[in-house]
A and B are shown apart, each in its own frame.
Chain A
């Protein structure tokens, strides 16, 4: 080993978690953390929640203060894009022209926005939301807007819509799928969330097909659908999802397939190079299939796991995926992955304000989606981690204490 140490690309939740874990666990070599965004690493989830609502200022988004990086000798290199990777030569080129050598490299490049390709999509007043810079631009534009169209019924679109409604805007959600949260939520949860938005006065249109944006003098003025309907807007927020940022990995010849492919120790097809977070695809031992997760839980825990591998750990990454979304006063929490479930069992009152949906496939508990039921969520994480599946009757019976199964 040389004294080049570990270079991490991406200052998001995964990259920072890797760097911190290396230091916490006593790694003495050099640690460099490179990211193309400016400033100190920050948290993304509040961008569509507290920050968008104006409840938090920018200083509260910052993860660790500047002294932290000095104290732990983490060399933070923000505002620098890594432009190419030489696997055999163990080096990484930055846009500044500088070339860094490494003993191990960790790719934590995250995900990048999918963009709409329709007429008028480049007009002023059309916003996306992934980075702090984008959130600031959107927040600044809000005061002048009364009518807002949100394109996309996923988490980001819905959280932003809730923030807009709370700010007194008139909001219309145009969703391409047949129901809200199609990739992430069961029927009952999707219906509950739709009811929530409708109840607060947002308009929700599912199964829409976009024709294009109407513009006036280069500014967006509305959105027109293929069926001819049109919706006026001062601002449009597009939230149609992300794709893994695999550019660096792919051009360097690392194996990728809608994500950088990694093994259970977070190693890519080049064993000295690891990957973690939104950019990585891996076989999940609890689900026996390749998954790519877009969540804080995975970014943090996989980042830690990658650090562990670099320190000599050999255990596989098998953390239960979990996720949350806060909209209005409602807390949606998801434990596990529901894809492919064949049975939904409701615990609590589906028509009420508090219930959980237990999703099974062939009697095995895959996931639990909870509305305002945090205890169900926390127990579900442990049940899934331990491979324990309550019977459908027990899951549905509120008097049955699920903790007794642990």
Chain B
């Protein structure tokens, strides 16, 4: 299991454990983290699973794919250097302890 902390824009945080192989989005969604909409269920079609990643973990993530990159240009909240779509990030042991900030809005 991978331990993740999601922090909502208003400061509310959730400590969650999810299995390796799941996506970061799924970990949040199953557990009812509110700042993630994930309308398309992880198909990289909605950009409503936008997150800001803990800088210390950025280089442990898979690179941004071309579809994700285009979708990130269309997020509701501003795209930053540490922006990712959480459905495109597979949980691995390396990500244990990651802290993920959620934007103010997804829609």
Contacts A297-B39, A324-B43, A333-B45 known; A379 to B32 CB distance under 8 Å?
no
For the complex, is B63 an interface residue (Cβ under 8 Å from A)?
A: no
Q: How far is the CB of B11 from chain A (nearest CB, A)?
A: 17
Nearest A residue to B41 by beta-carbon distance? A43
Contacts A24-B34, A296-B39 known; A379 to B74 CB distance under 8 Å?
yes
Q: How far is the CB of A375 from chain B (nearest CB, A)?
A: 4
Binary interface profile of A, 180-216, with partner B (CB < 8 Å = 1, else 0)? Answer: 0000000000000000000000000000000000000
**Cβ of B29 and Cβ of A64 under 8 Å apart?**
yes
**Cβ of B45 and Cβ of A375 under 8 Å apart?**
no
For the complex, is B70 an interface residue (Cβ under 8 Å from A)?
A: yes
For the complex, is A137 an interface residue (Cβ under 8 Å from B)?
A: no
Q: What B residues does A374 contact at CB under 8 A?
A: 44-45, 67, 70-71, 74
Question: How many contacting A-B pairs (Cβ < 8 A)?
Answer: 57
Q: What A residues does B39 contact at CB under 8 A?
A: 296-297, 300
**Interchain CB contact (< 8 A) of A71 among B32, B44, B47:** B32
Q: How many chain B residues touch A (Cβ–Cβ < 8 Å)? A: 19
Q: How far is the CB of B105 from chain A (nearest CB, A)?
A: 13
Chain B, 1-56, CB within 8 A of any chain A CB: 22, 26, 29-32, 34, 39-41, 43-45, 47
Chain B, 54-94, CB within 8 A of any chain A CB: 67, 70-71, 73-74
For the complex, is A169 an interface residue (Cβ under 8 Å from B)?
A: no
Q: How far is the CB of A63 from chain B (nearest CB, A)?
A: 7
14 contacts between A and B (CB under 8 A): A45-B40, A45-B43, A62-B30, A63-B29, A63-B30, A64-B30, A296-B41, A324-B43, A331-B44, A331-B67, A333-B45, A373-B70, A378-B47, A379-B74
Q: Taking beta carbons and an 8 Å cutoff, which residues of A are in contact with B? A: 24, 43, 45-46, 49, 60, 62-65, 67-68, 71-72, 296-297, 300, 324, 326, 331, 333, 372-375, 378-379
